[in-house]
Amino acid sequence: MDLHLHSWASGSATNVWVRGLGDAGGVRESYTPPEDAYRMAKRAGMDFVTLTDHETIDGALALAHHPDFFVSEEVSARFPEEDSSVDVLVYGLDEEIHAEAQARRGSVYDLVDYLREAGVVHALAHPIYDLGGSLDRSGIEKRLVLFGLWEFVNGSRPPRQNRLAREIAEGIGVLDLRRMALWHGFPTPPHRRIRGIAGSDDYGGATHTVAPGVRNPREFLDALAAGEVRPAGEEGSVGKFVQTAFRLAGAALEGGREDRAAGLLRRLGLPDDVRVRLRAASATSENALLRYLPILARLDEARMRSSLASRYENRVREAFEDSGLGSPALDFLGSVGGFVDGHVFIAPYVAAHGYFGREAGKARKLREELWLGGGDAPPRIAVFVDGMNEVPAMYRGLGSPLDDDLEGRLRFVTCGSSPAPGVASMRPVTHVGTPLNAGSKLGVPSLLEVLEHVAEEDYAAIHVTTPGPLGLAALVCGLVLGVPVVGSYSADFAGHAHDLFRDEIVARVVEVAVREFYERCSVVAVPSPAAELDLRERGYRVQRFEVVESGVDGELYAPSKRAPALREALGDGGTLLLYAGRLDHDAGLNSFVAGYRNLRKRRSDVRLVVAGDGPYRREIQDSLGDTASFVGSPSGEALARLFASCDVFVSPGAKGASGRAVIEAQSSGLPVVLFAGGGWSERIRPGVSGFAVPPGDQLAFFEKIELLLDDAWLRQQMSHAAREHAASTNRKALLDVLTNLHSPSPRPVPHPHAVL
């Protein structure tokens, strides 16, 4: 039997989100006529039927002639001492009981006293949904003492709320109930434990209660009173919620209330200008939601999602394919309008996920206050990576992201990469070029699929490694669902854009977009205090910065990977200098190239090895000729062998080598020469594992290089010190830092009279 079912007679909705779907006149709890609700329940396989309309039994009385039916209602009763109320499901009543219940709804205590004395079966609907006020430990304890029947499964509530309600109630025994009653000044309750029921809350049997062995409605009521029932059927879902909203909008439209239908669509996340355009008679895609609303309102949950998602994805593909503005950066900017328009079709799902996310957040907060904990499993963190070939620097120290012992704590998510154990791969809707890395393309995911993934996996935090298409989708999902988002800042995107396009406007647009991205993160992880200071000076209004040094996999990057054959192939028997990073038009890199040419004019026992790519590569190759070896962009084992097979690592530019490369070089046993400032000098021990010279002082830079070329003993001592320093970013220490970075707020001190 579906013990929570509404009809047209229910009047205005009490659910805050559903009520907000309407205009000033509100929106009804249900648009289903009582007879249709009865037939809907029977089609769903219910043996018996009831209606629990809000504050009325008019709809139920119209069905009283059915032999398998009994009259019920839902009564909103207030806690007089606080600004909150509860919904009480009252079963098997008549007009007299209805009148008495309505007269007492101003005080939940008076209502419950009357129902107990009259022997009327009653239950607490959606127990941890706060109707006004903020539900806390005290409110939960009062509900436990007052009600022996709780709705464990409500078909329109988030599963997290249902599960928490059941967990709370099933953990309470008779002694707990007596202690709580004494603490709050209540009489000892008649129930010895809390039993559970289920109702669809207007889905006609999808969620229901089972009472084994009963033969008629009277026996079902007796089973309810004795607690000899169990919840069954489906829990609430975003898909069902959206389907209900479209059904309400469709009913309003059929009733001649286009304004109310438009109000429903607006509440579902559609901006006003789109809502106005939806009323037009043209056949553009923006018209689809309102024009085809009568059809959408009749689709089942799966077909509705498929129809809207396919239209959204088509618009996203068209937006990126049709921009055609001449340059990769401007192409992307030109696609934004169509890209945003496409999201109209999935706006209802985004809005519903936002509502479920907020309610789930309340459940998490209540769980912490009740000191229930979250089980023994550590919180799961999603790491979103645009392009899985570039694992973020701070995770390098953890080894492979697929390690078994990390699976319970970190989950890497990419878009379009080949699936691998421990990595979730989102399906790309289309691809977009990356101007800062010619020839490379990134997958553009479906925002809806990313949203569903984050919600289903129940991540405690999201870590976004770059502001690419997947990173942007992950940030939006975190904001919608209320999941904290950590953003890693590891590159000067605006500077790279300026160097590439030589266009100040493009650089400013990129800077604004990147700043907007990071300012919406809960935490921004930077590789050094200098990087934090730089962002603050550039006007980034970030909630919280955290310095997280680049990690290194000490087993991968190790001196033991030194390969004599590779050394021979790279050089002519001399000392090998290694540069690893982007080859941009950077002032420091330009000066280094000129300085290296002068060095080679004076001595031939040194050779430069260049690992990396970029717009400046051809110029450097032409300038250095056969005095340098260019090896492209190796990764993994190949990169580790390259590091270990060289002798000194140089980092001459502000934008070239990254902090990660500086740590990987030291882990491989290479002393480092770099310029102080910019954050990278904080990655070495100056004078011990390398040298940090004053910024821009090319003479001092090459003096330190020549010192290492001439003093093999010093080079060897610094090599050992470099390896030792890199080991300080060991796997366990780094994992602890990252876990703390993503951890939720500390657990609260338990209530001195806690019994939960």
Query: What is the C-alpha to C-alpha distance for residues 286 and 343, in angstroms, rounded to an integer?
Result: 10
Residue showing tokens 């000129």: 594
Residues 282-302 have a mean pLDDT of: 66
More confident residue, 107 or 402: 107
**Choices 3.40.50.2000, 3.40.50.300, 3.30.70.890, 3.40.630.30: CATH for 378-547:** 3.40.50.2000
Whether pLDDT at 273 is above 70: no
Nearest to 392 by CA among 487, 492, 442, 465: 465
> What amino acid occupies position 323?
S
pLDDT for 657 equals 45
Query: What is the C-alpha to C-alpha distance for residues 112 and 342, in angstroms, rounded to an integer?
Result: 51
Q: What are 516-543's pLDDT values in tens digits? A: 888 898 888 887 777 888 888 888 888 8
Q: What are 590-624's pLDDT values in tens digits? A: 899 999 999 999 999 999 999 988 878 899 999 99
**Local confidence band at 683 (pLDDT 50, 70, 90 cut-offs):** confident
Nearest to 478 by CA among 381, 554, 574, 390: 381
Among the listed ranges 362-376, 400-414, 520-534, 719-733, which one has the minimum average pLDDT value? 400-414
Q: Same fold for the domain at 8-236 and the one at 378-547?
A: no
Residues 231-245 have a mean pLDDT of: 85
Whether pLDDT at 675 is above 60: yes
Q: Could you give the C-alpha distances from 426 to 389, 459, 466, in angstroms and in order?
A: 15, 16, 16
91 has which bridge partners? 72
Neighbour-count burial of 371, counting CB atoms closer than 10 A to its CB (0-12 exposed, 13-18 middle, 19+ buried): middle
Among the listed ranges 150-159, 179-188, 231-240, 585-594, which one has the minimum average pLDDT value? 585-594
Q: Could you give the C-alpha distances from 24 to 8, 14, 267, 276, 481, in angstroms and in order?
A: 19, 14, 13, 18, 28
Question: pLDDT exceeding 90 applies to what percent of the chain?
Answer: 40
Token duo for residue 137? 């430990």
* Spatial contact of 14 and 251, defined as CB atoms under 8 Å apart: no
Question: pLDDT exceeding 70 applies to what percent of the chain?
Answer: 74
Residues 655-667 have a mean pLDDT of: 74
Residues 115-139 have a mean pLDDT of: 89
Among the listed ranges 21-25, 75-79, 261-265, 299-303, which one has the minimum average pLDDT value? 21-25
Give the chain's mean pLDDT. 80
Query: What is the C-alpha to C-alpha distance for residues 469 and 84, in angstroms, rounded to an integer?
Result: 43
Count other C-beta atoms under 10 Å from residue 560's C-beta. Answer: 9
Instruction: Spell out the domain ranges in the chain.
Output: 8-236, 250-346, 378-547, 559-728
90 has which bridge partners? 73, 122
pLDDT for 399 equals 46
In this structure, the strands spanning 575-580 and 423-426 are unpaired
Whether pLDDT at 439 is above 70: no
Query: What is the C-alpha to C-alpha distance for residues 312 and 585, in angstroms, rounded to an integer?
Result: 40
pLDDT for 288 equals 56
Query: What is the C-alpha to C-alpha distance for residues 724 and 675, in angstroms, rounded to an integer?
Result: 21
Name the 3-class secondary structure at 620.
Answer: helix
Q: Could you give the C-alpha distances from 702 to 594, 597, 679, 716, 741, in angstroms and in order?
A: 11, 11, 20, 19, 39
For the domain covering 8-236, report its CATH number. 3.20.20.140
Q: Could you give the C-alpha distances from 483 to 268, 356, 402, in angstroms and in order?
A: 21, 12, 24
More confident residue, 580 or 401: 580
Label residue 11 left, alpha or beta by phi (over 0 means left) and psi (-120 to 50 means alpha): left
Q: What are 312-346's pLDDT values in tens digits? A: 898 888 877 755 444 444 444 445 545 566 777 88
pLDDT for 514 equals 84
Residues 287-315 have a mean pLDDT of: 81
pLDDT for 528 equals 74
Token duo for residue 701? 């830079």
Nearest to 278 by CA among 295, 267, 257, 293: 293
Q: What angle do CA 561, 562, 564 make, to 5 degrees?
A: 140
Among the listed ranges 321-335, 514-528, 545-559, 709-723, which one has the minimum average pLDDT value? 321-335
More confident residue, 436 or 687: 687
Token duo for residue 636? 């993994």
DSSP-derived letter for residue 746 is P
The H or E element that residue 315 is part of is: helix 301-321
How many residues can be counted in the chain?
756
**Local confidence band at 581 (pLDDT 50, 70, 90 cut-offs):** confident
Neighbour-count burial of 418, counting CB atoms closer than 10 A to its CB (0-12 exposed, 13-18 middle, 19+ buried): exposed
Among the listed ranges 185-199, 354-368, 721-735, which one has the minimum average pLDDT value? 721-735
Name the 3-class secondary structure at 544.
Answer: coil
Q: Which CATH superfamily is domain 559-728 in?
A: Glycogen Phosphorylase B; (3.40.50.2000)
Please spell the DSSP secondary structure of 412-462, one letter per residue: EEEESSPPBTTEEEEPEEEEEE-TTSTT-EEEEE-HHHHHHHHHHHT-SEE
How far does the chain reach from its first CA to its final CA, in angstroms? 31
Q: Could you give the C-alpha distances from 488 to 556, 736, 738, in angstroms and in order?
A: 23, 17, 12
pLDDT for 341 equals 65
Q: What is the 3-state secondary structure (H, E, C) of 156-198?
A: CCCHHHHHHHHHHHHCCCHHHHHHHHHHHCCCCCCCCCCEEEE
Sign, CA torsion 710/716/721/724 = positive
